[in-house]
Amino acid sequence: MADTTDVYRQLIELALPLWPDTDGAAISLINVSENMTYRVDAVSGARYVVRLHRQNNNIAAIESELAWVSALQTDGVLQTPCVINGINKRVIQCIKRTANKILFDQLDVNLVKQRLDEVYLVMFAFIEGREPDDTDDVLLHFELLGEMAARAHNHSAQWVPPLGFARGSWNTDTLLNSTAVWGQWQRAPGLNDTMLPTLNKVCDTVTQRLCRLGQDKAVYGLIHADMRRANLLVNKNDIRLIDFDDCGFGWYLYDFASAVSFIENHPRLLEFKMAWLLGYRRWRQPTRLEVQEIDTLIMLRRLALMAWMGGHPEVPIVQQLQDSFAKDSCQLAEGYLATH
């Protein structure tokens, strides 16, 4: 059986000639998550990042993501990664099964979840930087991230998307029901029957409270939806937000919940929240009810991550946390229910 990562690397090698300045380029894997990202070092000295979608994404959805990314850059809201057009002048490139049956058959063996008929790829300009870690000024990063979130939210509230704009939603209907985008949280690794009563209760509570918050345009709109550490690049005093692949419609302050993904039980969580809100309020004033429901949005995100982990056993962070994540989630739920 071929290694899945090796097969995707072969697809990248096959796709590189679709862009200029790639002849003889060296490629190296950056990250494996919902998609796969590779660094491309051209002979010319230029550097790029190629994102390969590991599922049959809708082209309209990818085009819509890139439209918002471009608008944020053009309108001076955020410094987002620049998209590189292919030789065919298109931003999205495609490799089809019909022309590469052997490679796609190898993928089918490794990825039993679905049969891929084609894969889509997007190239971005490389941005210098590294993922932040605990040696950085974490509170400053959350403050800056709050500012970026607020500016993006202000933009999305007044931006007129292009015709055919198609992005999904991140709410209780799409994250918690039987047809949830990432599957059912009840299938999370490490979950047992003793945890279910608490988690079922928190699921009901989260649904009820967010129903009361509502989806008025003052609190709900187009968001990044995945502002966690893995999607930040730090370079000296500069911090950049990357990977808008999950952008969609949701509660604005869900962006904070996504920023603390996988660290919701951190002892400094309250400090992170206050720093993020400090930065956010410089550009946008959240409603009182929004702020009251930040913890609810954190629990919504945590339940969604449980579902995501159940469907992505091959991702490194899932392998690192799978033994403790469900248990820790139950403890978070108990703490939440005790105060809400």
What is the distance between the alpha carbons of residues 283 and 153, in angstroms, rounded to a whole number? 9
- Record the pTM: 0.93
DSSP assignment, residue 130? B
Residue 55: both structure tokens together: 């599922």
What is the distance between the alpha carbons of residues 58 and 35, in angstroms, rounded to a whole number? 14
What is the distance between the alpha carbons of residues 78 and 331, in angstroms, rounded to a whole number? 37
What is the distance between the alpha carbons of residues 295 and 280, in angstroms, rounded to a whole number? 16
Q: Report the relative pairing of strands 248-251 and 169-170 from DSSP bridges.
A: parallel
* E strand or H helix that includes residue 150: helix 138-158
Indicate the domain borders of the chain: 4-125, 138-339
Q: Phi and psi dihedrals of 32, rounded to 5?
A: -120, 115
> Are 253 and 294 spatial neighbours (Cβ–Cβ below 8 Å)?
yes
Superfamily of domain 138-339: Aminoglycoside phosphotransferase (APH), C-terminal lobe (3.90.1200.10)
* E strand or H helix that includes residue 38: strand 35-41
Per-residue pLDDT of the chain (340 residues; tens, 9 = 90+): 346 677 888 889 989 999 999 999 999 999 888 888 999 999 999 999 999 987 766 899 999 999 999 999 999 999 988 999 999 999 999 888 777 777 777 776 555 455 778 889 999 999 998 988 877 889 999 999 999 999 999 999 999 999 999 999 999 999 999 899 999 999 999 999 999 999 999 999 999 999 999 999 999 999 999 999 989 999 887 889 999 999 999 999 999 999 999 999 999 999 999 999 999 999 999 999 999 999 999 999 999 999 999 988 878 899 999 999 999 999 999 999 999 9
> Are 91 and 157 spatial neighbours (Cβ–Cβ below 8 Å)?
no
The domain 4-125: what is its CATH number? 3.30.200.20
**Residue labelled with tokens 């002048």:** 89
What Rg value do the Cα atoms of the chain yield, rounded? 20
> Are 29 and 46 spatial neighbours (Cβ–Cβ below 8 Å)?
no
